[in-house]
Amino acid sequence: MGYGHAKSGHKLRLALDLNLFIDVDGDGDLDYVETTERHRPLGEWWEAQHELCRWGGRFQDGNHYSFEHDGVM
């Protein structure tokens, strides 16, 4: 039994989910980034790199980063 959509960008190797860890308070301890909003700076940067770059924050999947190909993200 498979996982996800048949035309998943992940299956096509054009997408990945990034788990980010950020030192929020400057104490050296890394905190896991759980919200789409916390991914926004990187997601918007990613989208600006190329017209086919897609960020999952546009569809409530903040840690999703991909290239669009034949309508698949």
pTM of the model: 0.82
Q: pLDDT grade, residue 1 (50/70/90)? A: very low
Name the CA radius of gyration of the chain, rounded: 14
Contact 62, 35 (CB under 8 A): yes
Give pLDDT tens digits for 28-70: 999 999 999 999 999 999 999 999 999 999 999 999 999 998 8
Measured distance CA(24)–CA(35) in Å, rounded: 13
Contact 32, 21 (CB under 8 A): yes
DSSP code, position 54: E
Is the pLDDT confidence value at 17 over 90?
yes
The burial class, CB within 10 Å (0-12 / 13-18 / 19+), for 11 is middle
